[in-house]
Amino acid sequence: MENQFEKWVPVAKLKYYFAVDNAYVGRKLRLLFFPYMHKDWSLRYDQEHPVQPRYDVNAPDLYLPTMGYITYVIVAGLLLGMQKRFSPEQLGIQASSAMAYSIFELVIYSLALYVMNVKTSLKTLDLLAFTGYKYVNIVVCLMVSTLFFKSGYYIALAYTSFSFGFFMLRTLRTKLLQDNSPAAPSGAINYDPYGNPQQFDYSGGKKRKLYFLFMIVAGQALFAFLLSKHLYLPEAEVLTVPKTF
């Protein structure tokens, strides 16, 4: 049964993305919100293997995206309740909608890589991790709206979109435009962080890679807006329940 489970769920691969600790989470959050203060964007390697995220803040992880997604659903329920729009079914609706957006986004990017014939070490779980960080930004924007309402929401959305766009540009440039893996001897294969040997060709297609890079960056801002525009708190007077006479 265990072998059948691992056949459909890549447990060994997922362990790499959840190898985090509290110190890493703090550093990663600081990197997401203040990426322009970060200097070294290169990935670290232990010989020819990339180190686990807990040892390299530049490595992608799935812990923060998962916690961000769960927190997003909880905060959505909270804000809907503050606006007298909550019902138990809303939690399921918000969770399934966000999941559908994430799957749709992942399919679009995967198809774009295939259609544009972009050769890269970027894998599906990498894309899932990088695009999942936007849930952290969405939660911050929604929480800001509880204090500063509509104006605070849009200011927070503008700032997080800019900072996250900067983060994605610098991080994915390492994956798309540069091959930072240790030099392998002739005829050898490059290492895949999931444990699968792959042969990559990183030469050429720089313009296509740039197009793909900017498509991802623009997509994060768009999807962050679509997932939060119906949830933020309006102005205070809009929340006031009118008195009945």
Over its C-alpha atoms, the chain yields an Rg (Å, rounded) of 20
Q: How many CB atoms lie within 10 A of CB 137?
A: 25
As a whole number of Å, the end-to-end CA separation of the chain is: 66
Neighbouring-strand partners of residue 45: 50
Is residue 120, in this structure, part of any structural domain at all? yes
Is residue 6, in this structure, part of any structural domain at all? no
pTM for the whole structure? 0.84
Total domains in the chain come to 1
* pLDDT tier at 186, thresholds 50, 70, 90: very low
Is residue 94, in this structure, part of any structural domain at all? yes
Is residue 170, in this structure, part of any structural domain at all? yes
Is residue 197, in this structure, part of any structural domain at all? no
* pLDDT tier at 176, thresholds 50, 70, 90: confident
Answer left, alpha or beta for residue 218, where phi above 0 means left and psi between -120 and 50 means alpha: alpha
Q: How many CB atoms lie within 10 A of CB 119?
A: 17
Is residue 13, in this structure, part of any structural domain at all? no
Structural element, H or E, at residue 140: helix 134-176
Q: Domain span at residue 94?
A: 62-180+205-244
Instruction: Check residue 190 and give its pLDDT.
Output: 40
* pLDDT tier at 184, thresholds 50, 70, 90: very low
User: Rounded to an integer, what distance in angstroms lies between the CA atom of residue 208 and that of residue 244?
Assistant: 61
Is residue 2, in this structure, part of any structural domain at all? no
User: Rounded to an integer, what distance in angstroms lies between the CA atom of residue 24 and that of residue 42?
Assistant: 16
Query: 11-70: per-residue pLDDT in tens?
Result: 778 889 999 999 999 999 999 999 999 999 988 888 777 889 999 999 999 999 999 999
**3 pLDDT higher than 80:** no
Is residue 3, in this structure, part of any structural domain at all? no
